[in-house]
């Protein structure tokens, strides 16, 4: 007969009753043992060669509440294209109302309908034209499958086509995945022999009490041997989110380098977000598909900055004193007052340059949340963080700017090397794009930089060079943390958050 502790004996008998092979879920239901006790029993039986135990991690996909809704009524781009007739030119507003699509989702739906090549959109006439007969995509097939199953589905059991759709729907927050470990225990040959010969229950104590010591009974009882390799319940201590910790590190390093932090509100006027940066009022980035407009109130107050507004107006119209010919159009102060959600952090630099407290020389930085109606994918979000910086001094050159950017990429993101290439921005000249490389990760573009043009600085009263850079700090963290999908930074996956090391 084989000597076994009670929970080991109970576990082995349960596997025998199930058929000689059972999952941890089946055993938990059959034995009613706590999971940690059950895992210890399986490990002990495996050490005695009575069991073979294997484990495999599986991802399970299930719909979010929004996903369940779309499984019933269809994706918004499908509802929109269903309102169109082939070859017909239709008004965007009329068709989105007919498809019952909320106004704030129109840019996103337009992005998807064009990405899937179901229709073309003319931004000038605000019209749509259907192209052919849209086929059911893999994302729609998966949405339909999960809606019918009404429970989580193993990703491994899906076809390759549907497995790709998992990431698409997950990016749109219509689906969520959860990783589960599937453990299988199977009785070994020695285990079957032990069951034939009979199992003997062994009474063992797990705790030495004062009563046992005083009475002397400790000499007669048998104590359970402690296995240091047996699994125990994990304890997760509280800690700061890994990405928030990274942002704090960046702030601390910049302050150490002599930078002062710039702050501001998420709602900004078009004047500071665009006009003060020498971006014309008919620039494509100012369209509804490039920026979020505030519904109410629509306009802010620029009376405090009246002198700067007049200077910027003249610069846009004819170049003013900057040596430029300007954009040669009629500047609208009413349009400058238009309230928006800031589309980049550079608006904070414009405000800082206009501040009465600005010192020369000085260095400033901000980590600002920015908003753009982007199509969600592995490198783009509708909300993202941007680290913005300016250096104001009399004797600055492009070489100084490149030195700052290289230091940033190497020290903040852990890059192995960097590269620069010429770029274009309305507000800087020369303009430079920064990319960085890390071994086993590859190249990634971080953002743009340059020296502010006189059309930016002179209207704001600045007569010295200003170095400026705006980098996607989310992407900096992606490289540092070896993440290839920007959406993972803001993930609610507790397993990833818990396991991410504290630096």
Same domain, residue pair 319 and 307: yes
- pLDDT confidence band for 206 (50 / 70 / 90): low
Residue that is last in its domain, among 178, 207, 230:
178
Question: Do 155 and 206 have their domain in common?
Answer: no
What is the C-alpha to C-alpha distance for residues 159 and 260, in angstroms, rounded to an integer?
53
pLDDT higher than threshold 70 for residue 205: no
- pLDDT of 236 strictly over 70: yes
Domain membership flag for residue 324: yes
Q: Is residue 237 part of a domain?
A: no
Which of 178, 203, 234 delimits the end of a domain?
Answer: 178
Give, as one character, the DSSP assignment of residue 454: H
Buried b (16+ CB within 10 A) or exposed e, 372-387: bbbebeebebeebbbb
Q: Does a structural domain hold residue 228? A: no
Reported confidence tier of residue 224, pLDDT bands at 50, 70, 90: low
Structural domains counted in the chain = 3
**Higher per-residue confidence, 331 vs 173:** 331
Q: What is the CATH number of the domain that holds 114?
A: 1.10.10
108 lies in which domain range? Answer: 65-178
pLDDT for the residue 365:
94
Count CA within 13 A, CB hemisphere, residue 234: 6
Residues 477, 491, single domain; the answer is yes
pLDDT for 325: 94
SS (H, E, C) 77-132: HHHHHHCCCECCEEEHHHHHHHCCCCHHHHHHHHHHHHHCCCEEEECCCCEEEECC
What number of CA atoms fall less than 13 Å from residue 113's CA on the CB side? Answer: 28
Q: Are residues 262 and 153 in the same domain?
A: no
Model confidence pLDDT, tens digit, residues 180-192: 777 888 888 888 8
Asked whether the beta carbons of 501 and 392 are under 8 A apart, the reply is: no
Q: Tell whether 257 and 357 lie within a shared domain.
A: yes
- Does pLDDT of 220 surpass 80? no
Tens of pLDDT, residues 283-293: 887 776 689 99
Contact by Cβ (8 Å): 172, 64 = no
In a domain, 27, yes or no: yes
pLDDT band at 235 (very low <50, low <70, confident <90, very high): confident
Max Cα separation, the chain? Answer: 102
Q: Are residues 38 and 142 in the same domain?
A: no
Handedness of CA 81, 86, 89, 95 (dihedral sign): negative
Q: Closest Cα partner for 292 from 106, 165, 486?
A: 106
In a domain, 232, yes or no: no
DSSP labels, 122-182: ETTTTEEEE-S-PPPPHHHHHHHHHHHH-S-EEGGGS-HHHHHHHHHHHHTTSEEEEEEEE
- Check residue 311 and give its pLDDT: 96
Are residue 325 and residue 457 in the same domain, yes or no? yes
Statement to judge: residues 456 and 427 lie in one domain: yes
pLDDT at 327 over 70: yes
Higher pLDDT, residue 380 or 457: 457
The CATH code of the domain that includes 462 is 3.30.930.10
Q: Looking at the domain assignment, is residue 263 inside a domain?
A: yes
Q: What is the DSSP letter of 380?
A: B
- What is the residue-averaged pLDDT of the chain? 86
In a domain, 234, yes or no: no
Q: What is the pLDDT of residues 115-166, one digit of tens each?
A: 888 888 888 888 888 887 788 888 889 888 888 887 788 888 888 888 888 8
């Amino acid at each position: 007969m084989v000597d076994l502790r009670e929970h080991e004996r109970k576990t082995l008998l349960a596997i025998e009753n199930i058929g000689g092979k059972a999952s941890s879920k089946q055993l938990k239901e059959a034995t009613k043992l706590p999971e940690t006790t059950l895992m210890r029993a399986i490990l002990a039986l495996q050490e005695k060669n009575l069991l073979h135990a294997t484990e495999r991690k599986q991802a399970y996909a299930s719909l979010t509440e929004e996903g369940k809704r779309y499984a019933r009524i269809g994706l918004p781009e499908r509802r929109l294209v269903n309102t169109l007739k082939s070859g017909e030119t239709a008004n965007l507003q009329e068709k989105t109302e007919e498809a019952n699509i909320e106004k704030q989702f129109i840019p996103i739906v337009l992005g998807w309908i064009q990405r899937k090549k179901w229709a073309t959109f003319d931004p000038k006439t605000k019209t749509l034209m259907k192209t052919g007969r849209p086929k059911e995509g893999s994302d729609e097939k998966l949405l339909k499958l999960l809606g019918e199953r009404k429970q989580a589905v193993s990703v491994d059991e899906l076809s390759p086509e549907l497995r790709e759709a998992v990431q698409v729907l997950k990016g749109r927050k219509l689906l969520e995945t959860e990783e589960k470990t599937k453990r299988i225990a199977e009785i070994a040959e020695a285990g079957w022999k032990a069951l034939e010969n009979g199992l003997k229950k062994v009474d063992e104590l797990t705790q030495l009490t004062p009563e046992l010591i005083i009475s002397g009974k400790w000499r007669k009882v048998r104590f359970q041997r402690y296995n240091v390799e047996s699994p125990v319940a994990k304890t997760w201590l509280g800690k700061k989110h890994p990405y928030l910790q990274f942002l704090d590190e960046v702030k601390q390093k910049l302050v150490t380098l002599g930078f002062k932090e710039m702050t501001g509100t998420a709602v900004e006027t078009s004047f500071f977000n665009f006009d003060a940066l020498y971006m014309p009022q008919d620039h494509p980035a100012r369209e509804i598909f490039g920026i979020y407009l505030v519904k109410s109130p629509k306009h802010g107050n620029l009376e405090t900055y009246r002198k700067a507004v007049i200077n910027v107006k003249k610069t846009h119209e004819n170049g003013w004193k900057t040596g430029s010919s300007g954009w040669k159009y009629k500047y609208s102060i009413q349009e400058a007052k238009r309230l928006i959600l800031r589309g980049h952090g550079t608006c904070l630099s414009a405000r800082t340059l206009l501040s009465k407290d600005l010192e020369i020389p000085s260095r400033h930085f901000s980590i600002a949340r920015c908003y753009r109606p982007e199509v969600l994918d592995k490198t783009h979000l509708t909300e993202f963080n941007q680290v913005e910086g300016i250096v104001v001094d009399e004797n600055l050159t492009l070489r100084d700017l490149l030195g700052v950017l290289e230091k940033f990429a190497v020290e903040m993101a852990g890059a192995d090397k960097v590269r620069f290439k010429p770029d274009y921005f309305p507000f800087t000249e020369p303009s430079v794009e920064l990319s960085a490389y890390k071994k086993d990760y590859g190249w990634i573009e971080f953002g743009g930089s340059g020296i502010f043009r006189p059309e930016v600085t002179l209207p704001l009263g600045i007569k010295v060079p200003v170095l400026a850079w705006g980098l996607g700090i989310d992407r900096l963290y992606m490289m540092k943390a070896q993440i290839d999908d920007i959406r993972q930074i803001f993930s609610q996956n507790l397993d990833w958050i818990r396991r991410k090391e504290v630096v």
